[in-house]
Amino acid sequence: MVAASTKPLILSILSSGENYGYQIIQKVKELSGGTIEWSDGMLYPVLHRLEKDRLITSDWKMSDGGRHRKYYTVTARGLEELSRDMQEWLSVHDVLSKLWTPLRMNTMRPAEV
Amino acid sequence: MDAAANEHHAARGGVTVFNLDNALKEWVKTLRRNPGFEDGYIEELRSHVLDEVDFLVGQGKSEQEAFETAIANIGPVDGIGVEYYKTNTRRLVAAPPWQPGGNKLGLLYNYFKIAVRKLKRHKGYSLVNILGLGIGITCFIFILLHVKTELSYDNYHEDGDRVYRVARGTQFKSSTRLTAGNSPMLAKTLKDNFPEVERAARLLIWKSRIIKYKDRVYYDTNSRYADPELFKTLAIPFIQGDPETALDRPNTAVLSRETAKRYFGDENPVGKTITIDDKDFEITGILKDPPVNTHYKYGIITSLSTLKDDEHINKWDMNYNAYTYIKLAPGSDAGDFENRIRRLAHDYIGEKLKAAGVVCTYFLQPLKDIHLHSHLNEESEPPGSLMNLTIFLAVGILILLIAGMNFINLSTANYANRAAEVGIRKVIGGQRRQLIFQFLGESLLISFLALISAVFMFLVVCPYLNDIAGTHFSGGGLLQPDVILILAGLGLSTGFMAGIYPSFFLSRFKPISVLRGVLRIGSKGLVLRKILVLTQFVISISLIIGTIAVYKQIGFMKSRDPGFDKEKKLVVRFPREVLNKDNYKTVKNEFLNHSSISGAALSTGVPGRWIYKWMLYPAGEQATNTQVVHCMGIDVDYIPLYGLTIIAGRDFKEELGTDTPNRGYILNEAAVKIFGWDSPEEAVGKGIFNDKIRVIGVLKDFHFMGLQNKIEPLGLFLMGEDYRYITLNTDMENTRGTIAFIEKTYGKFFPGSPLEYFFMDEDFDLQYRAEEQFNRLFRIFTILGIFIACLGIFGLSTYMAEQRTKEIGIRKVFGARYPGAPCLGARRTPSPSQACGKRQTQTIENYRQWQ
């Protein structure tokens, strides 16, 4: 679940402007209020994969503190991919919402043994 | 880990200092160890950690805490490396090669391709390399099989470690004689009186008999008499017939398959009757052919009970030689048993032995040791020579060494060309152990190619070598598990040895220096190479010396005068007991009736063939001076015909009354000596056995048993009957006509008997066959060894010349004349060539410094 959502998450964050790895992670944590927890390191291979799939591009820049940072930008192809993902996730969300309306969260606990 | 290291530090130094830079460096190192990471990825992660540390420090954490948290958040490094690898690889099964279960052989195809490409590019070099090692291994295979066969004699018998042959030592006054054969009574006596003797069997060799079935008649030298017990003592498997009953009746016989085929063709011989020396025998069984590695070869075995009425067989008679094989009960002490039977003969015929002044000692010979370790008189076949075997093995190993050194030399030289490849491989991420693996693998590949070529070469040359060496090897010999193991080991070790030095040496190169061309490696490994080439020279030279020695030895034996005239003599052999007092003169005269035949002599033996051995003693000295003397019955023409020299006394003369058959002896010098007479003159007139039979003459010693044996005592006497050979002096002109005449004459007297004839000189030289074979093999192997060594030097020099093309070119441009250039090559091989003058050497040194 987390893995499948990673791509649209990253693409969405990048669609609002170029960014680098550390900031992307912070943003995900911030938005999810800490419910989505990645091990930080795992983000980077994913970024590399997206770049290889030409959904994003990257560029090394020097920060003010003299630190190397790799900035990622979403490509046109990445945006296309994002809108496709969006539709898919939304339709899934619609269906699941309809299904789950009669249920309450607390009834979903597993039966006590 | 870094924290732990720091704490450890702190504990020792007493001060806690956290240095973020160092901690980060340490961490980056752990990343580098993982092959999934590339520099860019690491830099990105490093930057991430620093950002996180900054953030956490901003929240009030210490630098150390912040760093540890950041690292923890990053997660396990290996997992990230794997993810990167998966992203980058094109392979579907994406387990990275450094993880367990990963595909470590991914580069194998590439290694193979490179290896094949190298082989193809340097065709000549590869050929020299593979061929040299191949020839070496071929020689070794042959020698290995030979040695293996010799060592395996009689090791296949069930309970073979409990089977012994009882042999005998006979001690005379001045000499001891060891004999393999024994009185036929011995076996029965041992079985009856010693409970630890489980089985005892006799095997008697009958020197050639005439065997007849319908129209097929042959002299057979492989006929034996045996007890049925023999089949339970030694492993002699039956194809047809029952071992229990096959030989329990008189006049029964079993044949080896080969012999059966010879007489019966496709018929089933069992139940049929065969005639052996005019007696009929019923065939009761067929035996498997004797294997090559047994000391008792058999063709036909007849029942010993056939001889039950023979006067000698039931007596403790020392003139019959029966091989006595015994099997001891499990757990019995062979040494103790041997001690108890030592003087057994004296319990039965003590008086007689005492009268003869003889001490008879029995001893045991383990079955397995007979072929190589027993060199007694009356062996059933010429024993093997442990020394020749050792020499062969040594030659084999030396050749292998030469070939191996070649291989190592050429390989090392060739690897020097590949520094650039190493550089490139390292730059694109090749690790040292991968390089070692590659080079070792390549060298193993070549050595196994050599091994395969050796097997093929062996299959091709095997028949020729068999011919020369008298062996019976075939490709099947290679399929024995231990041979396969040795060969595989050989391939592996040669490949390994050739590969190990270059692979470790090359893989150490720093790519940067290789690629910039700073490193000149042509001269590295030169010391090793020099040592190897020098060793090769030494080995080659010792092989050559060995060959010359062996060759001279044989030349000496063949060319030295044996003391009698062996040229232009044709010998015809007669069956047993067909010539008698009445007909021998007629037969002889009939043979003389041809223009090409100028002389004839009858005898019971001829030089180089088997001759009787009798116990003789001077009159009145039976108890103190009984000696074994070779004895030969001859006629009056024998001594002049063979050109023997009488040095004292006189020759036999027909017209003198005292020379009636059997009434006088002519001894050789060795016999005179063994009887203790001081001079030939003193011997003449002495009585043998009694005073009626006197020594009438003494012969100059001659080699009647070949030059490799010392001259033994010999006594000649006039026989008058049962001659076995007629020696004909021919002019060798119309040989075909002469032989036709002999056939006709022989057929007239002995219709139906097979005719056997031979030329004296050829037959006599047959005694050197073993030596000749040894010589020829030795020579072939030496030539091959030297050939391999030359091949190596040739390869090496060509390679050197190739490497120094540029240098030679420059020299030529500067005006070097033709002879100058080869000197370069000469200097590189450690030959004592002083062709280059000192000045020129100096120039070369200058040039090299300049370069």
Q: What is the 3-class SS of B692-754, one letter each residue? A: CCEEEEEECCCCCCCCCCCCCCEEEEECCCCCCEEEEEECCCCHHHHHHHHHHHHHHHCCCCC
Q: How far apart are CA A97 and CA B591, in angstroms?
A: 130
Residues of B in contact with A70 (CB under 8 A): 40, 43-44, 47
Output the 3-class SS for B604-619: CCCCCCCCEEEEECEC
Does residue A41 sit at the B interface (CB-CB below 8 Å)? yes
Residues of B in contact with A49 (CB under 8 A): 87
Nearest to A22 among B41, B52, B79 (CB): B52
Q: Using beta carbons and an 8 Å cutoff, which residues of B are at the interface with A?
A: 40-41, 43-45, 47-48, 50-52, 70, 73-77, 79-80, 83-84, 86-88
Residue B634 backbone phi and psi in degrees, to 5? -135, 180
Ranges of residues in chain B whose predicted pLDDT is under 70 = 1-16, 90-106, 207-208, 318-319, 416, 517-526, 655-662, 818-851
Long-range residue pairs from B269-277, CB within 8 A, at least 24 positions apart, any chain: B270/B240, B270/B241, B272/B213, B274/B211, B274/B212, B274/B213, B275/B211, B275/B212, B275/B213, B276/B209, B276/B210, B276/B211, B276/B212, B276/B223, B276/B300, B276/B302, B277/B209, B277/B210, B277/B575, B277/B576
**What tens digit of pLDDT does each residue of B501-544 get?**
777 777 777 777 777 765 555 555 667 778 888 888 888 888 88
Instruction: Tell me which residue of A68, A77, A17, A14 sits closest to A46, measured CA to CA.
Output: A14
The residue of A28, A44, A62 whose CB has the most chain B CBs within 10 angstroms, and thus the best one to mutate to test that interface, is: A44
Half-sphere exposure of B557 (CA within 13 A, CB side): 22
Helix, strand, or coil (residue B377): strand
Half-sphere exposure of B618 (CA within 13 A, CB side): 18
Q: How far apart are CA B410 and CA B138, in angstroms?
A: 19
Greatest alpha-carbon span in chain B: 144
Q: Is A68 in Cβ contact with B83 (below 8 Å)? A: no
Beta bridge partners of B699: B646, B668
Distance from CA of A46 to the nearest CA of B (A): 8
Q: What is the DSSP letter of B165?
A: E
Q: Is B44 in Cβ contact with A21 (below 8 Å)? A: yes
Q: How far apart are CA B499 and CA B494, in angstroms?
A: 8
Q: Is A69 in Cβ contact with B52 (below 8 Å)? A: no
Does residue A70 sit at the B interface (CB-CB below 8 Å)? yes
Helix, strand, or coil (residue B302): strand
Q: What is the pTM of this model?
A: 0.69
Q: How far apart are CA B694 and CA A34, in angstroms?
A: 131
Nearest to A68 among B43, B77, B79 (CB): B43
What stretches of B312-366 adopt beta strand conformation (E)?
322-328, 359-366
- Give Rg (Cα) of chain B: 41
Does residue A21 sit at the B interface (CB-CB below 8 Å)? yes
The residue of B31, B87, B88, B89 whose CB has the most chain A CBs within 10 angstroms, and thus the best one to mutate to test that interface, is: B87
Distance from CA of A69 to the nearest CA of B (A): 7
The answer to whether B686 and B617 are in contact (CB under 8 A) is no
Does residue A53 sit at the B interface (CB-CB below 8 Å)? no
* B282: its two tokens: 């019923």
Residues of A in contact with B66 (CB under 8 A): none
The answer to whether B389 and B372 are in contact (CB under 8 A) is yes
pLDDT for residue A107 is more than 60: no
The residue of B47, B50, B52, B78 whose CB has the most chain A CBs within 10 angstroms, and thus the best one to mutate to test that interface, is: B47
pLDDT value for B835? 38
Mean pLDDT over each residue of chain A, to the nearest integer: 81
* Cα first-last separation, chain A: 27
The answer to whether B423 and B515 are in contact (CB under 8 A) is yes
CB contacts < 8 Å between A and B, how many? 61
Distance from CA of A98 to the nearest CA of B (A): 37
Burial class (CB in 10 A: 0-12, 13-18, 19+), B705: buried
* B724: its two tokens: 């076995």
Q: How far apart are CA B75 and CA B478, in angstroms?
A: 59
* B363: its two tokens: 């001893």
| B677 Rama class: left (phi>0) / alpha (psi -120 to 50) / beta | beta
* B262: its two tokens: 């010879």
**What are the residues whose beta carbons fall under 8 Å from the beta carbon of B580, sequence distance 6 or more?**
B721, B722
Q: How far apart are CA B208 and CA B299, in angstroms?
A: 11
Nearest to A44 among B70, B76, B80 (CB): B80
**What tens digit of pLDDT does each residue of A34-85 get?**
777 677 888 888 888 888 888 899 888 888 778 888 899 999 998 998 999 8
* B653: its two tokens: 């003369």
Other CB atoms within 10 Å distance of the CB of residue B153: 20
A residues 74..113 contacting B (CB < 8 A): none
Q: Is A70 in Cβ contact with B84 (below 8 Å)? A: no
Q: How far apart are CA B191 and CA B313, in angstroms?
A: 16
Does residue A44 sit at the B interface (CB-CB below 8 Å)? yes
The strand pair at B300-303 and B223-226 is best described as parallel
Distance from CA of B94 to the nearest CA of A (A): 14
Distance from CA of B43 to the nearest CA of A (A): 7
Q: Is B47 in Cβ contact with A49 (below 8 Å)? A: no
Q: Is B87 in Cβ contact with A45 (below 8 Å)? A: yes
* B597: its two tokens: 């035949």
Nearest to B51 among A22, A46, A49 (CB): A22
One DSSP character per residue, B5-19 reads: HHHHHHHHHS-----
| B172 Rama class: left (phi>0) / alpha (psi -120 to 50) / beta | beta
Q: How far apart are CA B573 and CA B758, in angstroms?
A: 9
The answer to whether B2 and B23 are in contact (CB under 8 A) is yes
**What are the residues whose beta carbons fall under 8 Å from the beta carbon of A13, sequence distance 6 or more?**
A19, A24, A27, A28
Q: Is A49 in Cβ contact with B75 (below 8 Å)? A: no
Output the 3-class SS for B178-219: EECCECCHHHHHHHHHCCCEEEEEEEEEECCEEEEECCEEEE
Instruction: Tell me which residue of B746, B726, B729 sits closest to B634, measured CA to CA.
Output: B726
pLDDT value for B727? 93
The CATH number of the domain covering residues in A2-103: 1.10.10.10
pLDDT value for B834? 40
Q: How far apart are CA B256 and CA B407, in angstroms?
A: 48
